[in-house]
Amino acid sequence: MEKTKLTGRIVTCRDPDYVQSRTNNNLTPLKCPKKIVFCQEDTDVINALKWARENHIPFRVRSGRHSYENFSLVNDGLIIDVSEMCSIQVNLETMTATIEAGANLGQVYNKLWEYGTTIPGGTESSVGLAGLTLGGGIGMLTRIFGLTCDNLLEIEMVRACGHKGAELIKANDNLNRDLFWACRGGGGGNFGVVTSFTFKVHPVSRVSIFSVSWEWEDFEAAFDAWQKWAPVTDERLTSEIECKSKAANEIIAQGEFVGSASRLKQLLQPLLEAGSPINVMVKEVPYIKAVRFFDEPSGNIPAYRKRSGSFVKKLFPKKAIKIMKQFLADAPNKNASIWHQSLGGEAGRIAPSETAFFYRDALIAQEYLTNWKSPSEEQQNLRWIKALRNALLPYTVGDYVNWPDRFIRNWPTAYYGENFERLRKVKTEYDPFNVFTFLQSIPPYRRWFL
């Protein structure tokens, strides 16, 4: 029987663009794959998966390169990269969009805007739609339209089948329902290679945005006012607050309101009364300008990074706020911060068991961030993130699978809560040979060996 050949655009370590092709958004830990296949169509994905299985080569799946623990890379193996599969088709009659899995958020927002529509998603333009959706998907429209995965109608996926085979299947509310459930919050790379998504889209024209900032001395007052206001205000308003290091001397809250600027100004009053804001901006803009306002250019540039996170179900007492402040006063560098986004609203109306995304009753998603310049700084930054996470454990729950942390010991519960066992059942049904595996991948109930 003739062996499968790789198709698509293939890059090896001998090619001049290898270093760029292997580089993810996070430069640590560094990994060196043997081959990278940039797939152009479903057939390329099928061939890549077959080739890896036939040759007993480890592989990983990649789209937007924002796997912050670099789970989408592997040493001496194959990277199945779908980033060049990025067509977007919009149907205004059905108010749906079919989007190939390689599209990033910048491409998605810009194309949908041409039709006066959007989907709720993240803020960084280079983030891949695939990873965002499969892990849940939070952003500036979460409270009015739900998570990205809540707007998903169907996926197409290449799965492993038989001894060394691969096949393209669909999953939706009527077909492969258990797989469709798992792909709404169960994380990327666990069950197969998703090649296409179909979403319901929402009409959008103009929105209002705001930005309010304070200096370090207002840390406690600003954060406390935001946490008491953001998860319970008008559901058309989703907001974030980033508490930066003492050296950066900035606490900044921003948000997006699907409504008028005059109404947004009224809604902001509890926030504006906290401390002494030094900068206040409120304005109404075309939606695509709001997308560009929230896009953080530095987040799209590869760097040495470490992230972790948690969810907040009960408002932080003064002690927890002081813990955050102390860690940021002793941050390993100026770039360290703690970022929060308001949840609730539409995202909180879905039961934890209805999709694989478990933390439906959380008020806030909380992310711990740091990045640094030199490899010699890595350990102190890793220690800072670990200590910060541990110090806040009495006040937080779990972690968001799209902010993976390889140092979390109880990661199955942290990411998936009570949904983990059901995810294992889905894994056992669709990938019993555990073909799709990485450091924190969902294991099947039985270990099979080829």
The single residue listed with the structure tokens 């304070």 is 214
Over residues 413-448, the pLDDT tens digits come to 999 999 999 999 999 999 999 999 999 999 999 754
Q: Angle 378-392/318-329 helices, nearest 10 degrees?
A: 170
pLDDT (0 to 100) of residue 2: 77
Give Cα 37 distance to the centre of its chain.
Answer: 23
Q: How far is CA 266 from the centre of its chain?
A: 31
Q: Give residue-wise pLDDT tens across range 112-133.
A: 999 999 999 999 999 999 999 9
pLDDT at 230: 98
Regions of the chain with pLDDT less than 50? 448-450
**3-state secondary structure at position 154:** strand
Which domains does the chain possess? Answer: 9-81 (3.30.43.10), 88-203+419-430 (3.30.465.10), 206-395 (3.40.462.20)
**125/98 Cα distance (integer angstroms):** 19
| pTM, rounded to two decimals | 0.97
Q: Which residue reads 């001395």 in tokens? A: 217
Q: Cα dist. 21→57, 61, 353 in Å?
A: 19, 14, 38
